[in-house]
Amino acid sequence: MPPAPGCPSPAGPVAPPDVLVSVGDGPGILATHGSSTLVTCTMSSASDVVSSEPPAGIAAAPGDLLSLSLPAGWRFLHWEGSDRPAAGEGGNVWPGVDTPDRPARIEVPVPARKGDSIAGYTLWVIRDDGRVVGQVDIVVQVTIS
């Protein structure tokens, strides 16, 4: 269960943070946003988005880790994910992982299969000031060589 957001609420609307995806410290790409819900002490906003297929994304090798990074001012609380082939059937699920130290960057496994996969993540995030808590869904295409 995420913490309750602190008061007062931010002045003005709050957008879900972008998530930069990279392999290790390599160059990154922005993940494709899916649905999100952000909560302050006085309101909540939800954006229901049908995730589109992400464009060609990240190249990785078996056993690599993906780095998911948030912009300044945001931290991770929890993540969980899944992947599936870009074409075809099947999939894997990664159970939820809490991040009690609230990092701005986490590492997650790459899909186990070779070729193109679509990896999706549900991320619980919090703003540094604690006044916004939310859930953000992202997807990224990962090519395993």
Across the chain, mean pLDDT equals: 92
pLDDT digits (tens, 9 = 90+) for 93-117: 999 999 999 999 999 999 989 999 9
Q: Which CATH number fits domain 20-144: 2.60.40, 1.20.58, 1.10.150, 3.30.310?
A: 2.60.40
- For residues 43 and 49, the model is more confident at 43
pLDDT tops 90 at residue 90: no
pLDDT at position 1 over 90: no
Give mean pLDDT, residues 54-65: 90
pLDDT of residue 51: 62
| CA–CA gap between residue 74 and residue 71 (Å, rounded) | 6
Give the 3-state DSSP-derived string for 25-91, with helices as H, strands as E and coil as C. Answer: CCCCEECEEEEEEEECCCCEEEECCCCCCCCCCEEECCCCEEEEECCCCEEEEEEEEEEEECCCCCC
